[in-house]
Amino acid sequence: MAEDLESFADAGYILTENDLVVDIDALSIDQIKEMIQIFNIKTQTVWTNRGVHFYFKKPQVFKGARSLTQLGFEVEYKHSGNTQSITVKQRGKAREIENAGVREELPDFLKPDRKSSNLLGLEEGEGRNPALFKQRMHLGNTKHWKQIINFINNTIFATPLPAEEMSEILRDSVDVKAEKDGESKIADVVMEERKVVKYAHQLYFKEGHEYLSDDEKLRAIIYEYCPGQKTRYVDEVLKQMDYRAKSVDESQVFDIRLNNGILREGKFIPIEYDDFTPYSINLEYDPDATPVKLVDDYLDMLSDHDTGYQNHILEVLGHTLIVNKEVKRLLAKFFFFVGDGGNGKGTLLAIIRKILDVKNCGSLSIDNMVDERYLNSLQGKLTNLGDDVEDEAIDNKKMKILKNISSCDFISLRKLYADSVSTELTPTLIFTSNHILKSFEKGVSYQRRVEWLPMYNKPKHKSGTFITDVTNDQALKYWLKLIVDGYQRLYKTKKFTDSSKIDDFNKQYHEDNNTALAYAQDLNKEDDVLGKRSPEIYEQYEVWCEENGYNVQGPKLFKDTICTNFHVELKVKKRNKKSQRIFVEFDE
């Protein structure tokens, strides 16, 4: 490799991961120069024997090789994924380079566009007029649409359309009549202009810089295109879109769009982002955000001035930003903030909604979550915030759904009047309660997933505007900085910050929830467990529960608790010359 071309007769530029070369050889040099002038292209330009190479910044997750573009001709895309190097000197002659070193963003009119047609060289009588009108419909109100249509007419067509026909096509709004059997055309226009896609069995559309899933709002948008039509006409347009919209692969990991970049796999990347993602937060991330005393005081109150506990709380909030299912499974948890009324638990949920935006937050109770019709509302959410859970034991049906969602396992859900579908959900489950809930299941899988976070301190000074004050613009920027810090710690360590307050509370909870566990704490493995039959120990446990007024757990749960706690198993062994199933050391 060398940095100059002097010592080589033939040389190539080795493409970096950030380079994308658009190779155009379908146009003449004059056509290319006209394109450069009309669209003000100032990126690095290398003239070739057959055309030109434009060097752009490669968009994220770009895999194209050859495609039509909005300009009506085909181009070839060269990048590190399909090309090692690009010729810059041939037979001793270096190619002419303009704007050396400049890498502009890839403009929309040069991006792959499979819905465009090849318009190069069309003449009258070859379908030129309807082809240009179709391209106008396809472009909708996208950026540069007028320049594109004029460029196609004047430069790409062999014979341009007359001025009067062009003036009709170049009107600011295309007249798409909402006529009988015209629902398909309306659907085409809405899908193109609103960038409609289908993800997780739901339609998403572009609203400003973000994608939304809101059928009611989409119906209202459709009605703007066909005013005066009956509701069944609007519904038919919606059905057309539902059947025909481009499907987005559910298995891919999406970025979270912020106003000044994205969150991706534990990192913040400053970038202008226009790709589809169901997740967007209308805030700017500043890693050096100025601390806000009111926020710090509130966190001190919640954590009882315990730094480890405070970091743990912020990591719980950062957990909502993890949308990679594999990473989320490593941190499979659901959370209960518990304590007396009036101590800031509900306020915390209101703050989370303010930071993440209501559209990213579900609000289902545990009872609602066992109904697949309600579960549908959690698609595309970062979290579910269930406030003020009632004092009712978590039964097996509720436990299953809590565990399945926290582990990103497949679950069934369905829209109203629709069939069930299976999908994986990733929202973080956060609940608050004034009560410590018992559970039917007591085992290790529940102990590993549930986390109780005690909060018994109450604010010393109450204010009617506290939520507004603690989520003003400056505070929200600081909150986001703290939460992203927690998110990045989770990605780095794959575990939550240790806190003795949380550990001690959860240990006591599981002993209270499972009296067999509490009883096992007082047993000696050598003297009280090894070599004993399960019924022997269980009888003593029953007596202990009766004497202390505790609930007696069933024999199976008791046996499982002993096995887990002491790392033992039941095997048939000879004892007193008789074969008996007794506890022995677990055989790995």
Q: Domain boundary residue among 500, 531, 548?
A: 500
Could you give the C-alpha distances from 146 to 106, 235, 401, in angstroms and in order?
19, 32, 52
pTM above 0.85, yes or no: no
**For residue 263, is it within any domain?**
no
pLDDT at 103: 92
**What value does the mean pLDDT take over residues 117-145?**
86
Are 442 and 553 contacting, i.e. CB atoms less than 8 angstroms apart? Answer: yes
Flag whether 494 is in a domain: yes
Q: State the average pLDDT for the chain.
A: 89
Q: Is the pLDDT of residue 47 over 80?
A: yes
Place of tokens 């080589």: 8
Alpha helices in 72-204 (DSSP H): 128-139, 145-151, 163-169, 183-193
**Higher-scoring residue by pLDDT: 136, 176:** 136
In the Cβ-directed half-sphere of 300, how many Cα atoms lie within 13 Å?
8
Tell me the β-bridge partners of 68. Answer: 74
What's residue 484's pLDDT?
98
CB 470: neighbour CB atoms within 10 A?
21
- Does 372 share its domain with 482? yes
pLDDT band at 94 (very low <50, low <70, confident <90, very high): confident
> Residues 367, 419: one domain?
yes
pLDDT category at 443 given cuts 50, 70, 90 is confident
Kindly report, residue by residue over 301-336, the tens digit of the pLDDT.
999 899 999 999 999 999 999 999 999 999 999 999
Residue with tokens 């790995």, as numbered in its chain? 588
- DSSP result, 250-295: TTSPPPEEETTEEEETTEEE-----S--SEE-SS---TTPPP-HHH
pLDDT band at 10 (very low <50, low <70, confident <90, very high): low
Distance CA 160, CA 88 (A): 36
In this predicted structure, the answer to whether residue 92 has a pLDDT above a threshold of 70 is: no
Strand residues in 414-540 grouped as ranges (E): 421-424, 428-433, 450-454
Name the strand (E) or helix (H) holding 19: strand 19-24
Does 582 score more than 60 pLDDT? yes
- Residue 19 has a pLDDT of 93
Pair (438, 321) in one structural domain: yes
- Does residue 117 lie within any of the structural domains? no
Distance CA 275, CA 5 (A): 38
Evaluate whether residue 371 is within a structural domain: yes
pLDDT of residue 114: 84
CATH classification at residue 519: 1.10.10
Task: Please indicate, yes or no, whether residues 39 and 102 belong to a single structural domain of this protein.
Answer: yes
User: Do residues 322 and 391 share a domain?
Assistant: yes
Co-location of 409 and 326 in the same domain:
yes
pLDDT(176) > 80: no
- Count, in order, helices (H) and strands (E) of the chain: 21, 27
Domain holding 386: CATH number?
Answer: 3.40.50
pLDDT band at 200 (very low <50, low <70, confident <90, very high): confident
pLDDT at 4: 55
246-262 pLDDT tens trace = 999 888 899 999 999 99
Most confident of 85-99, 163-177, 468-482, 509-523: 468-482
**533-543 exposure pattern, b = at least 16 Cβ within 10 A, e = fewer:** ebeebbeebee
Alpha-carbon dihedral sign for residues 307, 305, 449, 503: positive
Q: Are residues 436 and 364 in the same domain?
A: yes
- pLDDT given at position 180: 67
Contact 229, 180 (CB under 8 A): no
Q: What is the DSSP string of 381-416?
A: -SEEEE-S--S--B-HHHHHHHHHHHTT-EEEE--T
Query: Is the pLDDT assigned to residue 549 strictly greater than 90?
Result: no
pLDDT at 154 over 90: yes
Provide CB contacts within 8 A for 389, sequence distance 6+.
336, 365, 366, 431, 432, 433, 435, 437
Whether residue 219 is found in the same domain as residue 359: no
Number of domains the chain is built from: 5
Same structural domain for residues 463 and 557?
no
**Residues 455, 338: contact at Cβ < 8 Å?**
yes
Highest mean pLDDT among 268-282, 338-352, 479-493 belongs to 479-493
- pLDDT, tens digit, 9 for 90 and up, residues 388-406: 899 898 999 999 999 999 9
Q: Measured between alpha carbons, how far is 22 from 43 in angstroms, rounded to an integer?
A: 11
State how far Cα 321 lies from the chain centre: 8
CA 384 to chain centre: 14
Asked if 372 and 489 sit in the same domain, the reply is yes
b vs e for 310-349, b when ≥16 Cβ sit within 10 Å of the residue's Cβ?
A: bbbbbbbbbbbbbbbeebbeebebbbbbbbeeebbbbbbb
**Of the residues 450, 470, 500, which one is the last residue of a structural domain?**
500
Q: Per-residue pLDDT tens for 373-388?
A: 888 889 899 999 999 8
pLDDT in tens, 331-371: 999 999 998 877 778 899 999 999 999 999 999 999 999 98
Pair of tokens at residue 132: 């240009």
In whole angstroms, give the CA distance from residue 320 to residue 154: 52
Average pLDDT (61-75) is: 91
Q: 238 with 369, same domain?
A: no
Cβ atoms within 10 Å, residue 272: 9
Does residue 459 register a pLDDT over 80?
no
Mean pLDDT of 134-147: 83
pLDDT category, 576, cuts 50, 70, 90? Answer: confident
Q: First vs last Cα of the chain: how many Å apart?
A: 55
| 131 touches 122 (CB < 8 A) | yes
Asked if residue 315 lies in contact with residue 497, where contact means CB atoms within 8 angstroms, the answer is yes
Q: Which two tokens stand for residue 473?
A: 């613009």
Q: How many CB atoms lie within 10 A of CB 259?
A: 13
Q: What is the pLDDT of residue 90?
A: 76
Find the mean pLDDT for residues 205-222. 92
Percentage of the chain lying above the pLDDT 70 cut: 95
Rounded to 10 deg, the angle between the 555-566 and 534-548 helix axes is: 110
Residue pair 228/177 in contact (Cβ under 8 Å)? The answer is: no
The b/e string for 492-506 (b: 16+ C-beta within 10 A; e otherwise) is eeeebbebeebeebb
Is 256 a domain residue? no
Q: Is 276 within a domain? A: no
- Count CB neighbours of 99 within 10 A: 15
Domain that residue 225 falls in? 182-247
Q: Is the pLDDT of residue 52 over 60?
A: yes
Q: Is residue 99 part of a domain?
A: yes
End position of a domain, from candidates 467, 500, 533 = 500
Rounded-to-integer distance, Cα 80 and Cα 31, Å: 28
What the block records as the tokens of 392 is: 């009712």
Q: Is the pLDDT of residue 164 over 90?
A: no
Tell me, what DSSP letter sits at residue 439? Answer: B
Task: Measure the CA–CA gap between 159 and 578, rounded to whole angstroms.
Answer: 102
| Residue 528 in domain | yes
Structure tokens at 403: 């565990």
Q: Please indicate, yes or no, whether residues 354 and 326 belong to a single structural domain of this protein.
A: yes
In this prediction, residues 28-41 reach a mean pLDDT of 96
How many whole angstroms separate alpha carbon 132 and alpha carbon 162?
12
Q: What is the mean pLDDT of residues 2-19?
A: 71
